[in-house]
Structure 1
Amino acid sequence: MASFTLHGIPVSRGIAIGRAHLLAPAALDVKHYLIPQEQVEAEVLRLQKAIATVHKELQTIWNELPKDSPAELGAFIDVHALILSDPMIAEVPLDIIRTRYYNAEWALVTQIDELSAQFDEIEDAYLRERKSDIQQVGERVLKVLTGSAISLPSHDGDDENAGRMIVVAHDISPADMLQFKDRAFGGFVTDLGGQNSHTAIVARSLDIPAAVGMSNASALIEQDDMIIIDGDAGVVIVDPPPNVLEQYRDLQQRLMRERKKLGKLKKTPAVTKDGTDITLLANIELPDDCSGALDLGAMGVGLFRSEFLFMGRAGFVNKLPSEDEQFESYRKAVVAMKGRPVTIRTLDIGADKPLDSAEQTALNPALGLRAIRFCLAEPQMFLQQLRAILRASAYGPVKLLIPMLAHAFEIDQSLAMIEQAKAQLREQNKKFDPLVPVGAMIEIPAAALTLPMFVKRMDFLSVGTNDLIQYTLAIDRADHEVAHLYNPLHPAVLYLLASTISIGAKAGVPVSVCGEMAGDTRMTRLLLGMGLREFSMHPTQILPVKQEILNADLGAIAAQTKKILRTMEPAAIVQAVEQLREL
């Protein structure tokens, strides 16, 4: 068979070399037929039993989680159990059987497809990919209904790579990944998924090379094909020629040696060659992420995405977490960080990602009732979250971060509501830190261009580069047709970023960067040259970024960065940024 290469989305770095093990999705084999009326209740019972079986499976997986498993796995299994219990999955397909006389598999797939279509309307990539959780839950039920199960390979022979399994699937759930963890699971390739899919998050936590969003990899790759995953590039090479295989084996060995060296930096302070201290923080989705962040040397949490508490319920009606449930999650993170600051971002959700799936979505959701706009439009929900965050501040240092601010009145209203939440807690005699710092996310060009308005009102700023780039360049980064235009090195983006850092420094207001640029080692020295002293990133990126910092000479970098900021030609900027890494 001739060698060929597939291109997807890189979500977890590293090189994996091994044999392909294909997982066939049960949904592809679902039969569609009508059942006689007298057999309707028997068919309903068959689906109910399948759902109950999956509940038991998930509980068993959760109970048997290895102690060294990433904390994300337990939480994702909880989310799948929550979805499985929701009437949208547990009851609506039963009604479809009773009213349309569909067989159980057909009824379930019909409802899953309906829910998936609603999630396709969500603009935000992170929440849109929660569709995969619903599909994965449906997949588990279908496998029970059809009697199919995930089969694991048992390779024998003397091929040294045979035992390094590369799972190739249309999609794969985090729970299923556990089954591969103890079977020399070297990496995985999926047709679906993106940077923020649960599978991608778990891959980064397990530090397993992965490439997702491959479209048709599961159709093109055959069982036992030799595969190379280049996780850094999001490239999969199928049946590589001997010389390519040898090159990647050498690269894999070199990366492993470098990773061992990085491990020695965990307790090394992040200080540049010329003695400047840099603060490295972690982005987290779950309180349980804190232990891993601390282990990798994080000095605190720069971004706690509170959406996760709401996320498993997205598309399901009236299932918002209570104030106490939110408080407990925030408190758990604060306690886990052992005195290091935890920055909690208020709910970044909106009309493009409705909490009630029956709601109409905006015509242009990226520009709709998002984040703080949505929260100010739902004051009781916002106050509930603010109270929960403030209550957590009684257990350690908390910073409160407001997303997507652009107007003075939005800032003032947010601050007023924080004061109202404090007053409510005082009336209830509940403890909190009255001096919790309040910050703004700078992710809209209008905010970056009117910073004096922000530094006068806010205690700190955090630049969300993902959205800042998207809005500056008018590009939906999740739209494959224009994703190639998404460019963090565009002169306009660099200007807004540099001016935000500079104005914040002059005003004495701390500025951090919490978007993907913060964890990209190719950008580290450029950001240092702009004056950035606080980076927040996925925990697995802390050590590589720290290594860049330890080798950086700010004097030389700053002079070169000034030249870059005056450059308008894209090719010249890319070249100059590469040269920064050689200084």
Structure 2
Amino acid sequence: MASFTLHGIPVSRGIAIGRAHLLAPAALDVKHYLVPQEQVEAEVQRLQKAIATVHKELQTIWNDLPKDSPAELGAFIDVHALILSDPMIAEVPLDIIRSRSYNAEWALVTQIDELSAQFDEIEDAYLRERKSDIQQVGERVLKVLTGTATALPPQADGEESAGRMIVVAHDISPADMLQFKDRAFGGFVTDLGGQNSHTAIVARSLDIPAAVGMYNASALIQQDDWVIIDGDAGVVIVDPAPNVLEQYRERQARLLRERKKLGKLKKTPAVTRDGTPIMLLANIELPDDCPAAMEAGAMGVGLFRSEFLFMGRTGYLNKLPSEDEQFESYRKAVMAMKGRPVTIRTLDIGADKPLDAAEQTSLNPALGLRAIRFCLAEPQMFLAQLRAILRASAYGPIKLLIPMLAHAFEIDQSLAMIEQAKNQLRDAGKKFDPLIQVGAMIEIPAAALTLPMFVKRMDFLSIGTNDLIQYTLAIDRADHEVAHLYNPLHPAVLYLLSSTIAIGAKAGIPVSVCGEMAGDIKLTRLLLGMGLREFSMHPTQLLAVKHEILNSDLMLIAPHMKKILRTMEPAMIMSAVEQLRAD
């Protein structure tokens, strides 16, 4: 068989080499037939029994989670259990059987297709990819109904030396991934998924090389094919030539050696060679991510994405976490960070993340009622979150971050709401930090171009590069058709970044970057040269960025910066940024 290469989305670093193990999907293409009227209730019971079986499976997996498992795994299994309990899955298919006499599989797939179509309308990449959770839960029930299962091959002697198993699948759920945790499991390749899919999040938390969004990899790759995953590039090489295999084995060994060296930097302060201290912070989704942040040596949390607490409730469960429930999560994170600051971003949901899955979305929700616009339109929900964050600030240093601000009146209304929440807590006799710092996410070009109104009102700024690039270049980063145009080194992006950092420094207020650029070691020296002194990233990226900082000299970087920021030619910018690392 001739070697071939597939290109997808890189979501987790590293190189994996091994034999392909294909996971056959419980295809949503099922038998369709009508059930005789006298057998309808028996068919209803068959589906109910399958749902109950999956509930037990998920509970068993949850109970058997190793204590050292990433917190995300338990959370995702909880989400799948919640989806399974939701009337949209647990009841509507039963009604379809009764009203249309469909067989159980057909009824379930009909409802899943309906829900999936609603999620396709959602503009936001993160929530749109939650569609895969519904499909994964549906597949799990179908596997029970059809008697198929996700089988693993018997573990052969010497599998470690012969090459680790590379799982290849159309899609893979977090629950299924647990089967591979204790196996000779080197990495995985999926047809579906994006940067924010659960598959990607779990890959990063387990630090396993992965490439997702590969389209038809599961159809092209055959059982036991030799496969190389280049997780940094999102490239998969199938049946590589011997010399290519040897090159990647050498790279893999070098990466392992480098990773061991990085482990020794955990307690080393992040200081450039010319003595400039840099603050390295962690991005987290859940309070249980804090131990990993501490273990990596993070000086605090630069971004706590609070929507993770709402995940699995908005969109299809229509049940928001209470103020007390949110407070406990925020307090847990603050306590876990042991005096290091925790920056909590307020809820980033909206028309693109509807509280009711059946709710009509707007024509272009990315430009619609989302993030702070949505929160200001739902003041009671927003006040409950603000009170929860404020109450947690009595237990340790918290900074409050507001997403997607673009107008002076939005800033003023947000600050007024925070004051209102403080007054409500004073009236209730509840403690909070009255001097809590409030910051703005700079992720809309309009915000980056009107910074004076931000620095006058806010205590700090945090640049969300993922959305800033998306909005500046008019590109949906989850859309494969235009993903190649998503370029953090576009001159317009560099101008907005550098001017935001410079204006913040001149005003004397801290500026951090919390998007993917902060964790990309190829861009570390560029950001240092722009004047960035606070980086926030996934904990697994922190030590590599620290190593880059320790080997950077700002005196050598400075002469290159004017040339880079004045250049309009992409090739010249790329070459100059590469030169920064070479010096």
1:445 equivalent in structure 2: 445
Matching of residues 44-55 of structure 1 within 5 Å: 44-55=44-55
Q: Is the 8 A contact 1:156 1:162 kept in 2?
A: no
Give 1:259's aligned amino acid: R
Query: What is the alpha-carbon distance in structure 1 between the residues aligned to residue 159 and residue 45 of structure 2?
Result: 48
Please state how far the C-alpha of 1:230 moved relative to its aligned partner: 0.7
Cα deviation digits, residues 211-249 of structure 1 (max 9, x gap)? 000010111111111111111111111111111111111
1:520 equivalent in structure 2: 520
Q: Is the 8 A contact 1:299 1:340 kept in 2?
A: yes
Tell me whether 1:458 sits opposite 2:464 in the alignment: no
Matching of residues 378-457 of structure 1 within 5 Å: 378-457=378-457
Cα deviation digits, residues 360-408 of structure 1 (max 9, x gap)? 1111111101100011111111111111111111111100000000000
Cα deviation digits, residues 489-532 of structure 1 (max 9, x gap)? 11111111001001101111100000110000011000000000
Q: Is the 8 A contact 2:159 2:184 kept in 1?
A: no
Query: What is the alpha-carbon distance in structure 1 between the residues aligned to residue 247 and residue 295 of structure 2?
Result: 32
Give 2:101's aligned amino acid: Y
Please state how far the C-alpha of 1:186 moved relative to its aligned partner: 0.6
Query: What is the alpha-carbon distance in structure 2 between the residues aligned to residue 554 and residue 541 of structure 1?
Result: 21
Tell me whether 1:111 sits opposite 2:108 in the alignment: no
1:172 equivalent in structure 2: 172
1:294 equivalent in structure 2: 294
Matching of residues 186-197 of structure 1 within 5 Å: 186-197=186-197
Query: What is the alpha-carbon distance in structure 2 between the residues aligned to residue 412 and residue 256 of structure 1?
Result: 50
Change over 3 Å in CA distance of 1:222–1:191 after alignment to 2: same
Cα deviation digits, residues 237-265 of structure 1 (max 9, x gap)? 11111111111111111111111111111
Please state how far the C-alpha of 1:159 moved relative to its aligned partner: 7.1
Give 2:51's aligned amino acid: I
Give 2:511's aligned amino acid: V
TM superposition score normalised by structure 1: 0.98
Tell me whether 1:473 sits opposite 2:468 in the alignment: no
Please state how far the C-alpha of 1:27 moved relative to its aligned partner: 2.4
Q: Is the 8 A contact 1:17 1:161 kept in 2?
A: no
Query: What is the alpha-carbon distance in structure 2 between the residues aligned to residue 388 and residue 84 of structure 1?
Result: 29
Query: What is the alpha-carbon distance in structure 2 between the residues aligned to residue 462 and residue 479 of structure 1?
Result: 25
Please state how far the C-alpha of 1:358 moved relative to its aligned partner: 2.1
1:152 equivalent in structure 2: 152
Deviates more, 1:183-192 or 1:161-170: 161-170
Q: Is the 8 A contact 1:316 1:356 kept in 2?
A: yes
What is the SS of the residue equivalent to 1:187? strand
Q: Is the 8 A contact 1:18 1:161 kept in 2?
A: no
What is the SS of the residue equivalent to 2:420? helix
Tell me whether 1:329 sits opposite 2:320 in the alignment: no
2:482 equivalent in structure 1: 482
Query: What is the alpha-carbon distance in structure 2 between the residues aligned to residue 540 and residue 159 of structure 1?
Result: 27
Please state how far the C-alpha of 1:315 moved relative to its aligned partner: 2.0
Please state how far the C-alpha of 1:161 moved relative to its aligned partner: 5.3
Deviates more, 1:223-232 or 1:557-566: 557-566
What is the SS of the residue equivalent to 1:552? coil
1:273 equivalent in structure 2: 273
Give 1:402's aligned amino acid: I
2:504 equivalent in structure 1: 504
Query: What is the alpha-carbon distance in structure 1 between the residues aligned to residue 520 and residue 173 of structure 2?
Result: 27
Q: Is the 8 A contact 1:350 1:371 kept in 2?
A: yes
What is the SS of the residue equivalent to 2:27? helix
2:207 equivalent in structure 1: 207
Give 2:423's aligned amino acid: A
Q: Is the 8 A contact 2:86 2:317 kept in 1?
A: no
Cα deviation digits, residues 409-432 of structure 1 (max 9, x gap)? 000000000000111111111111
Give 1:113's aligned amino acid: D
Cα deviation digits, residues 123-152 of structure 1 (max 9, x gap)? 111111111111111111111111111111
What is the SS of the residue equivalent to 1:27? coil
Q: Is the 8 A contact 1:19 1:161 kept in 2?
A: no
Tell me whether 1:339 sits opposite 2:339 in the alignment: yes
Cα deviation digits, residues 149-178 of structure 1 (max 9, x gap)? 111112547676545111100110111111
Q: Is the 8 A contact 1:229 1:236 kept in 2?
A: yes
What is the SS of the residue equivalent to 1:19? strand
Please state how far the C-alpha of 1:460 moved relative to its aligned partner: 0.3
Q: Is the 8 A contact 1:155 1:163 kept in 2?
A: no
What is the SS of the residue equivalent to 2:313? coil
1:17 equivalent in structure 2: 17
Query: What is the alpha-carbon distance in structure 2 between the residues aligned to residue 502 and residue 575 of structure 1?
Result: 24
What is the SS of the residue equivalent to 1:264? helix
Task: Give aligned pairs, total.
Answer: 583
Give 2:418's aligned amino acid: I
Q: Is the 8 A contact 2:83 2:317 kept in 1?
A: no
Q: Is the 8 A contact 2:323 2:385 kept in 1?
A: yes
Q: Which runs of 5+ in 1 are unaligned?
A: none
Q: Is the 8 A contact 2:28 2:139 kept in 1?
A: no
Cα deviation digits, residues 517-553 of structure 1 (max 9, x gap)? 0000011000000000000011111011000000000
Please state how far the C-alpha of 1:32 moved relative to its aligned partner: 1.3
Matching of residues 118-267 of structure 1 within 5 Å: 118-156=118-156, 162=162, 164-267=164-267
2:78 equivalent in structure 1: 78
